[in-house]
Amino acid sequence: MTNIGIDIMGGDSAPKVTLEGSAKALPELDKDTRLYLIGPQKVIQEFLESEGLNGDSRLVVVSAEEAIGMDEHPVKALQQKKNSSLAVGFGLLAQKKIDGLASAGNSGAVMVGALNALKPIEGVMRPCVVSAFPQKNDSHNILVDVGINVDAKPEMLQQFARLGEVYSRLVYGVEQPRVGLLNTGEEEGKGSLLYQKAYEILKNTKDITFVGNLEAREFYEDRADVTVCDGFTGNVFLKQAEAFYNLLQYRNIKDPFLEKFNYERYGGTPILGVNGNVVLGHGVSGTTAIANMILATEKVAKAKLSENITKVFKK
């Protein structure tokens, strides 16, 4: 049995959209998966009754009567709102009552909760977040980090490579992921001092398949399965891709491949390097994005991603 928790009060349009997304995800979840709806009990029960889901044994209602707003201070909010849906969700995850937690809520609070309630895996300097980008041949290039570590050290980029490689293997089924370093040119000496040193470290790391520097214009050419960078660069790259997708929609340009850049298809991004499976979604997520965030959390939990990352760092 796999138990997945969803922060019902997380997101710009919660709880309406999170509840609708949960109902949409339910038929797609495996039969042995239970979904914990964490939030105000009365609101959840009324929704389940209206949808005819009140007697579904795969749904578990967990009362949490407080909510953390999108603009609240992450640390203060978690400290002061012990009965918030997010705090209660992290409590369940820390106690191993659920195997994964999904939230489209305050991203800072999600990160603080993951670090404080779950703690980083021993040997991991800093957790990171990843995002999967489609490639021309239908594979994926996993970009890591895409937002947490805006200032990074070369050794951290080496760890990002290991974390991304485990994610690529377990979630996307790549047997031997190729690792690239996002940089301003292919040559070894390119980039800032951070990237030059990171190149040297990655080149001499025996347990990864390092393919060298990767320019942004080659990112979609299936040259790497995992690409590493600092969180500032990764976040700019991610948001530029999202902005370009929105521009194409505005221009009414339709194409099946380009539709793969729609963030709603992926739902959320996992936080790698903490003792638990956490998936962070967009605050603006609609019903489809919430449903896919829940399905992504189930996939990560079934892959026992956090446990397997722990094994890698224990070697």
Superfamily per CATH, domain 125-265: Isopropylmalate Dehydrogenase (3.40.718.10)
Tens digits of residue pLDDT in 70-128: 889 989 999 999 999 999 999 999 999 999 999 999 988 998 999 999 999 998 988 99
Domain boundaries, the chain: 1-124+273-304, 125-265
Provide the pLDDT for residue 314.
76
Let me know the angle formed at the C-alpha of 152 by 222 and 202, rounded to the nearest 5 degrees: 50
Q: Do domains 1-124+273-304 and 125-265 have the same CATH topology?
A: yes
Mean per-residue pLDDT of the chain: 93
Q: Which of 110, 164, 133 lies closest to 240, judged by CA? A: 133
DSSP class of residue 121 equals P
Superfamily per CATH, domain 1-124+273-304: Isopropylmalate Dehydrogenase (3.40.718.10)
Q: Which of 235, 224, 220 lies closest to 149, judged by CA? A: 235
pTM, 2 dp: 0.89
Tens digits of residue pLDDT in 45-65: 999 999 999 889 999 999 999
- Segment holding 56, helix H or strand E: none
Q: Are strands 140-144 and 128-134 parallel, antiparallel or unpaired?
A: antiparallel
Tens digits of residue pLDDT in 252-264: 999 999 888 888 8
Mean pLDDT of 234-256: 92
| Residue 270 bridge partners (DSSP) | 279
Provide the pLDDT for residue 315.
67
